[in-house]
Homo-oligomer: A and B are copies of this chain.
Amino acid sequence: MSGTKSVIRIALDGTGGDRQANFYKGIAGSVRFASLVNQQAEFIVFGEHELEEALAQEGIERSRYEFRLAPQAIPQDADPKSVLKDYQNSAMSQAIASVRDGEARAVVSAGGTGPLVALSRHILGSMNKLRPALCVRMPAGPGHYTLMLDLGANAEAHAEDLKDFALLGHAASRFLLNIDRPKVALLNVGSESNKGNALIREARDLIKQHSKLDFQGYVEANRIFFGDTDVIVTDGFTGNVALKAAEGVAHIFAHADGIKRFFAKLAMPDWLQPWQYNGALLLGVNGIVVKSHASARQEALAVALVEAVKAASTDLDTAMHRELDSLLNQEA
């Protein structure tokens, strides 16, 4: 691998994701794709011997990647506590550690959310003592995106956590959306102030206190894709359900039978299409961590790798850290 300054190294956990047919070939193909799209990117791939072979067969330029044998995979549903104890040598662990050690600028994994969040927090540490959250750029009209978080990094959330997510979303939007003062809203079941549960109302009161946040109140789930707001804050359980419910309907259209499928392709707005492939960023840890869809379709992992390169090239983690320092100092 080269040592010049403009190189961006990405660590890839090559063990995560659903083990479908052509599992290794799919991963190797996504590395090849990402290496072609990003000429300054190089990859450190952690995984089993079979993956090393698949990478060699893929015909990727040898200088563009390094393979490290790390055959231990973490089951998708492993208990986060056991992960810290039993999987210290896993490919996922080693890939995250390579970011901590400065070998790589970002890590990509299609492994389980629970293990990825637990290991990232443990190895990289939390950013500004905030609670980390999974954040996705949701398409919201031609050329527009809305950040939505948390999408499932946390199964439970307190009002303080939702406030943390608002701060993380605000800090990230300068770099992910090119917006300095994003509109921030809470996902709720109605727009009137008395709607929702106690968690939502408490979180609203906390977020409102931040003078630097442009808080807009509530947004409903049927408006997620319409760009009413730049950042949508929700707990990881609700966010995950909302995202998957939307995916379910999109899937009906994309997989209709026969001629309807043809019409669905024509009907799908261009701006909506990349959505299901986008990786999710784990914001709030000291390092760039990208979670790819577990379905391990080649496109999804390739897009996640490209997203990681993009985030690394804007120094997303250190830039967010600076932004949060200024936000939180003002608060004190």
Residues of A within 8 A of B (CB): 76-77, 79, 114, 152, 155-156, 187, 189-190, 192-198, 220-226, 234, 236-238, 240-253, 256, 259-261, 263-264, 266-269, 272
Contacts and interface: CB of A to CB of B under 8 A. Distances in A.
A167 B147 CA distance: 38
Given A156-B198, A237-B238, A253-B253, A192 B226 contact: no
Stoichiometry, as copies per complex, reads 2
A260 B238 CA distance: 31
A317 B294 CA distance: 44
Contacts of A192: 76-77
B189 A77 contact: no
A264 B223 CA distance: 19
B221 A241 contact: yes
A252 B238 contact: no
B241 A187 contact: yes
Contact of A248 (B152, B224, B269): B224
A192 B78 CA distance: 10
Among A152, A193, A253, A272, the most chain B Cβ lie within 10 Å of the Cβ of A253
Contacts of A238: 237-238, 241
Contact of A190 (B77, B156, B250, B256): B77
B263 A248 contact: no
